[in-house]
A and B are shown apart, each in its own frame.
Chain A
Amino acid sequence: MIWNEYHECMDRQRLTELQGERLRDMVERIYFNVPFYRNKLQEMGIEPGDIRSVEDLKKLPFTTKQDLRDNYPFGLFAVPQHDVVRLHASSGTTGKSTVVGYTHNDILMWSEVVARSLTMAGVTRDDIIQVAYGYGLFTGGLGLHYGAEKIGASVIPISGGNTKKQLQLLEDFGSTAIACTPSYAAYLGEAIAEEKLDRSKIKLKAGIFGAEPWTEEMRTQIQQLLGLKAYDIYGLSEVIGPGVSMECGFQHGMHVFEDHFIPEIIDPETCEVLPYGTLGELVFTTVTKEAMPLLRYRTRDLTRLHVETCECGRTLVRMEKCVGRSDDMLIIRGVNVFPSQVESVLLEMSETKPHYLLVVDRENNLDTLEIQVEVEEQFFSDEVKELEGLRKRISGNLTSLLGLHASVRLVEPGTIERSMGKAQRVVDKRKLK
């Protein structure tokens, strides 16, 4: 099943033309409505008229996460605030989030790409879908919700967590599809086994999993535990949210919805555009988004693109699972975490110094984050309650900034390795590659 055959199976020549038209329109919109982009383009001596086709994309400047922070909160919006109907945000350094806005049309477009994604997983109006992504500032829950409603499926907006309730609804409502993070899917699967639920009452046939890296081994495990077919969905809030790309039933990579998001692969060092099939950093230009169009947004995700037509008939390029990042961002339980965020918390607290180490692991399919902090002379107390109090204060401050529980372990001074160059701040014990 293909939701939008016209756009998903378009002749590539015609698709390139369509992208060109939309790119021209987008550059004009940002040139006249976003001072940040107008200044950048003027500095480079580019006028909207200079952009004629997708070929000209490489002349245009990149956008980075730092640009989003510098223009916090609404500086990159290309429409007046009264046209913005939705705001989402992700956690950021020093308390500032990355904010994204949507017009009514943006929400329709987002619903469209998620509808296409769900159709790839075989979801139809006859399905009951349990959306177990978090609802709220995070784009996962509402993104899947609107797409599933557009298809006409029955949506259960249960949000994340509350495992007992999730299991009960799986049984009682007979949900046929579920959307959540892969680690939570594995956790649910194990809970089913532990609670000795009647497997014949679980009707799941498709799972739409994303927002964090996962492996083929996890796919096999989840499929066995939940008795469904597991599909990989990709997205990031800066571009739209979930639904930037999605796997079809053949699972040869995720089809990028190129009529809305133009992907490029660049060398993260030289920023040179690389040919299809080469590993590099993924970059997106959002040609149809109205509220916050981004020009060549650097995702920092490392992957490859493949252009050969898929067995499913879609002509859209396929991106491989991301193999890593070109920066130090970690994805822990679907939450983006930068080591610099931890540093900012420690610097703000007078009792601590920024000698720390993040230890990420996966226990029972759930990511764990432990932050080791050195006990400095100045704040060492010989009373347990003082040290425990300090530990809890650090943990509380980190948890509230990161939006993710972080356990803190106090270690002896000088035990965290110092190096002259780039300090080793992260130990990731999860086996994902």
Chain B
Amino acid sequence: MIIRQLSVFLENRAGRLTELTGILADNDINISAFSIADTTDFGILRVITGKPELAEKVLKERGFAVKITDVIGIVMRNKPGALHHALQILTDNGISIEYMYAFASGDDRATAVIRTDSPKKAIEVLQLHKMELLKTGDVYQI
């Protein structure tokens, strides 16, 4: 249930992101989902991929500051109120979100990737409410 997300430190420098995507492409690593948090000086790239360990290894070899972060993915119907329902469960159980991003897939479903301080507890309460969670194996299919 815990998804291993790749986090990469990126300077705000022209072409830097392209270098990174080039390395991933060369190593046949597919990006299933990603987001970038940006500040004036730097950005943090967050990537969901089927091969996080390989990605970490090849990027480190090329001098990137990389870290694997545990996140969870909530799979929902792509319809009004679905995200709200999921977030309400977390809020009611005192779980706060550090950051999140979401993506929709073609089959009327959407996934929200969530980083929280207590991923285990989040999984517990979401499962209690019969929410569908993204499994590591699913990442390959996204």
Contact = CB atoms under 8 A, between A and B. Distances in A.
B9 interface: yes
B46 A387 contact: no
Given A410-B41, A412-B65, A413-B63, A383 B10 contact: no
Contacts, number: 52
A412 B98 contact: no
B11 A412 contact: yes
B1 to A, nearest CB: 19
B63 A388 contact: no
B11 A382 contact: no
A413 B65 contact: yes
A411 interface: yes
A410 B12 CA distance: 10
Interface in A386-433: 387-388, 409-415
Contacts of A276: none
Given A411-B11, A412-B11, A380 B67 contact: yes
- Describe B's contact surface by its main secondary structure: strand
Contact of A414 (B5, B44, B63, B67): B63
- Describe A's contact surface by its main secondary structure: loop
Interface residues of B, number: 21
Nearest to B7: A382
B107 to A, nearest CB: 29
Which of A376, A413, A415 has the largest count of B CB atoms less than 10 A from its CB?
A413
B11 to A, nearest CB: 5
Given A411-B11, A413-B65, A384 B41 contact: no
Given A412-B9, A412-B11, A415-B11, A387 B44 contact: yes
A375 B10 CA distance: 10
Contacts of B69: 382
Contacts of A381: 67
A382 B39 contact: no
What's the interface size class on A, roughly? 10 to 19
A172 interface: no
B39 A380 contact: no
B100 interface: no
Contacts of A387: 9, 39, 42, 44
B10 A412 contact: yes
B72 to A, nearest CB: 15
Contacts of A411: 11, 42
B37 interface: yes
A411 B9 CA distance: 9
A215 B9 CA distance: 41
B65 A376 contact: yes
B64 interface: yes
Contacts of B64: 412-413
Contacts of B9: 375, 380, 387, 410, 412
Contacts of A410: 9, 41-42
Contacts of B63: 412-415
Contacts of B11: 411-412, 415
Contacts of A380: 7, 9, 65-67
A126 interface: no
A411 B16 CA distance: 12
17 contacts: A376-B65, A377-B65, A380-B7, A382-B5, A382-B67, A382-B115, A383-B99, A383-B115, A384-B39, A384-B99, A387-B44, A388-B39, A410-B42, A412-B10, A412-B63, A412-B65, A414-B63
Q: Which 7 A-B pairs have the closest CB atoms?
A: A382-B7, A380-B65, A414-B63, A382-B69, A409-B41, A375-B65, A375-B9
Given A382-B46, A410-B42, A413-B64, 4 more contacts: A375-B9, A383-B98, A384-B39, A413-B65
Interface of A: 375-377, 380-384, 387-388, 409-415
Interface of B: 5, 7, 9-11, 37, 39, 41-42, 44, 46, 60, 63-67, 69, 98-99, 115
